[in-house]
Structure 1
Amino acid sequence: MKTVLLGVSGGIAAYKAAEIVRALQKRGYDVRVMMTANAAQFVSPLTFAALSHHEALTDEFDCPGNPIPHITLGQGCDLFLIAPATANVVAKMAAGIADDLLTSTVLACTAPVMVAPAMNVHMYEKTVTQDNLATLRRRGIAVIDAASGYQACGDLGPGRLPEPEQIADVVDEHFQREAAPLPWTGRKVLITAGPTVEPIDAVRFVSNYSSGKMGYALAEAALSRGAEVTLVSGPVSLPAPMGATVVPVKTARDMLAACEEAFDSADVFIASAAVADFRPAETAKEKLKKGTEGQEGLEHVRFVENPDILATMGTRKRPGQIVVGFAAETSDIERYGRQKLASKHADMIVANQVGEGKGFGTDDNQALLITESGSEALPLMAKTRLADAILDKIEQI
């Protein structure tokens, strides 16, 4: 029998946690409950003790017979599910704070951790909350997307705790995946991410607004499916995905060289990097000054085309090898994406609109998946979810 440790934090959705206990028990799980002090203001620990047939713990220093509960429980369960996870608990988890029984157990836990955030829509949509959830995902913590609807405060929107049966479904899926072999085991995936930077002189360069979040999300999604991942990354401010081989590069020519070295052994190549189309023809060794009499300055910098990495790899692909490119456009994304699909010899193009706060630097994206057989429009979603959708499409190909 699998043991699920249920962490309940202090929000109005805490009342649903009692139903989560019952839903998990009906599916054959042994459920143990741990609560924050604020959660106990909404639902009595006695309620959870009666339902789970185990004492519901709330205080790390009031556990008779178990002097180190955050260690014994965190290392004795098969899954640590925190539902509901308030904005405060999510933030503490992202920061590594361990100031109560629940957050101390998170740090000590050796089992997979899963959170189901629940909070007011405005709290949920705040950039800091979404950044914290993205941080948890990058660290391997599964995040169950919040449901949308009417909230206790009267607001309408995302932030509701999903229904208990839906959460139990996610737990079932987790254990089913754990028992089954990972679908991409044995596959090698080569991914490019981030921008390239093309130096003008000793202090200046040409680049773009790419954050690398899409490429890194793809790397993490491929790793979670069992793939061996090589990530060729331009300069970004993101932690390396655990388990990936990261090759840092700066210029487009650097990125091309790294891809050429790894491409032949790859089963899938995903070119998600925003490669600079042009570079200065010459890089000045010293800082260029504004144009003065008898001298040429920045206004006279001449540009030349960079190598086309996607087209180069597309013409080299062997039978059975999959090549996927991205098309960041400001208009007519399907027309330009389909042109790119043909001219780059790609198997799929992920086309999306950029500019005006879309695409670059954001945590979400809206994309069109273009293949020879047709186009699939995806709604606006987190880049982590989009990464899974892209890999699902690659499996179909």
Structure 2
Amino acid sequence: MLAGKRILLIIGGGIAAFKSLDLIRRLREQSVEVTPVLTKAAEEFVTPLSVSALAARKVYRDLFDLTDEAEMGHIELSRAADLVVVAPATADLMAKMACGHANDLASTLLMATDKPVLIAPAMNVRMWEHPATQRNLDVLTADGVTCVGPDEGNMACGEFGPGRMSEPSAIIDGIRAMFADGPLKGRHILVTSGPTHEPIDPVRYIANRSSGAQGTAIADALARLGARVTFVTGPAEVANPTGAQIVSVTTASEMLDAVQGALPADAAVFAAAVADWHVTSASDQKIKKGTDGLPHLTFAENDDILATVAQMKAGRPDLVVGFAAETQNVIENAKSKRLRKGCDWIVANDVSPGTGIMGGSENAVTLICEDDTEDWPRASKSDVAARLAQKISEALDK
């Protein structure tokens, strides 16, 4: 799939830049033509000589190279590739991209390109979680930039958390997904995943026991079939899918806003375990134990995201798929839910504690359609996702 593809690789400044050398090597092994661009900061971590040797091509570093600029080199560089990859994408580079700055070669190339862009963020956990970085990420994903990672783990600075650049193999998976030429090419599919967290106070919340594994597997499977996937996820335990546009949310209200913002779509798969209720007056300070007895919490129902989209009068996706996680009367409850919500399909599963499905690596589902019911054998969540993605592809073809 990747042989003969041309990638413009922009290497940002950070300790993760050393991974870009392995990324270049792996891409070259698959006969990918890699044109490397180094930022000034990146040269503090990797040398132009090592990058050039691995890429077997000239390394570009300076916007004002007279020979190249006489031929409008930055314009040619930005458009000659099939894909632009930024790895590592530092907080500074992401900010420049989101705000449209163009004051060096890397940022100018990103502004001038008319090709798809994939970023692999890498930074300190506090920088990643900073509201400014998250705002910039939202802007970039809304602009169509695909994000791979970051991963969670120990960092060079000694802290632990999200911010590690994804491994080269994961970045290549993301690149491969962007070049996928399957039956869903040209289709836009929305997938929701993970739980939502409804705050009680700054340290407590209401949530469902969802890892997000099934939603991530579905998004991966759809991307492999060539779909452009928008992945709206709550605070999941698993890594985000590769090759999808990631929109991270926390509450059900935020998820609904993100879903509506992602439409229109050809199909929508609502795999998220959205909390049914929220506390009407969440405290902005930690609720302390005291002599006044237990705190009194007042609840209200969250908006029904699945029903909202399934019952849209205009702009409804051609196929709307819901999930029904049940502990009793699974099929009957799921059939009732499909009719009540107005969706086309319901994927029903038994999540009773003894099944090990909620938070586990396997699933056993029943696909309920208007005129058919299919019992699928227990399998890995990846296999369930692949089968569902194929069914979605066949349905959209009709």
The TM tier, using the shorter chain, reads 0.5 to 0.7
Matched, 1:17 2:20: yes
The whole-number CA distance in structure 2 between the counterparts of 1:338 and 1:59 is: 63
Q: Does the 8 Å contact 1:120/1:151 carry over to 2?
A: yes
SS of residue in 2 equivalent to 1:4:
strand
Aligned to 1:79: 83
Aligned to 2:227: 225
The whole-number CA distance in structure 2 between the counterparts of 1:13 and 1:240 is: 33
Matched, 1:45 2:45: no
Matched, 1:162 2:181: no
The whole-number CA distance in structure 2 between the counterparts of 1:309 and 1:111 is: 36
The whole-number CA distance in structure 1 between the counterparts of 2:308 and 2:333 is: 10
The whole-number CA distance in structure 2 between the counterparts of 1:128 and 1:69 is: 32
Deviations 1:204-225 (A, max 9, x none): xxxxxxxxxx9xxx9xx89972
CA shift in 2, pair 1:393/1:97, >3 Å: farther
User: Which residue of 146, 150, 170 corresponds with 1:142?
Assistant: 146
Aligned to 2:119: 115
Instruction: Tell me the TM-score normalised to structure 2 length.
Output: 0.54
* % identical aligned pairs: 32
The whole-number CA distance in structure 2 between the counterparts of 1:56 and 1:184 is: 33
The whole-number CA distance in structure 2 between the counterparts of 1:80 and 1:134 is: 19
The whole-number CA distance in structure 1 between the counterparts of 2:185 and 2:131 is: 33
How far apart are 1:4 and its partner, in Å? 1.1
Q: Does the 8 Å contact 2:334/2:348 carry over to 1?
A: no
Aligned to 1:31: 34
Instruction: Tell me the TM-score normalised to structure 1 length.
Output: 0.54
Deviations 1:148-182 (A, max 9, x none): 2221111122211222343334333433x0xx244
**Unpaired segments ≥5 residues, structure 2:** 193-214, 230-254, 277-303, 312-317, 339-343, 350-362, 368-374, 393-398
Matched, 1:324 2:325: no
Tell me the C-alpha RMSD between the 2 structures. 4.9
The whole-number CA distance in structure 1 between the counterparts of 2:99 and 2:191 is: 29
CA shift in 2, pair 1:102/1:369, >3 Å: farther
Q: Does the 8 Å contact 2:35/2:59 carry over to 1?
A: yes
The whole-number CA distance in structure 2 between the counterparts of 1:188 and 1:149 is: 32
Q: Does the 8 Å contact 1:337/1:370 carry over to 2?
A: no
The whole-number CA distance in structure 1 between the counterparts of 2:260 and 2:190 is: 18
CA shift in 2, pair 1:343/1:158, >3 Å: same
Q: Does the 8 Å contact 1:10/1:86 carry over to 2?
A: yes
The whole-number CA distance in structure 1 between the counterparts of 2:48 and 2:190 is: 50
CA shift in 2, pair 1:102/1:347, >3 Å: same
Q: Does the 8 Å contact 2:11/2:20 carry over to 1?
A: yes
Matched, 1:347 2:345: yes
How far apart are 1:69 and its partner, in Å? 2.8
Matched, 1:62 2:65: yes
CA shift in 2, pair 1:174/1:63, >3 Å: farther
CA shift in 2, pair 1:226/1:14, >3 Å: closer
The whole-number CA distance in structure 1 between the counterparts of 2:26 and 2:386 is: 31
Matched, 1:2 2:5: yes
**Unpaired segments ≥5 residues, structure 1:** 193-213, 228-233, 246-265, 277-305, 314-320, 352-367, 380-388
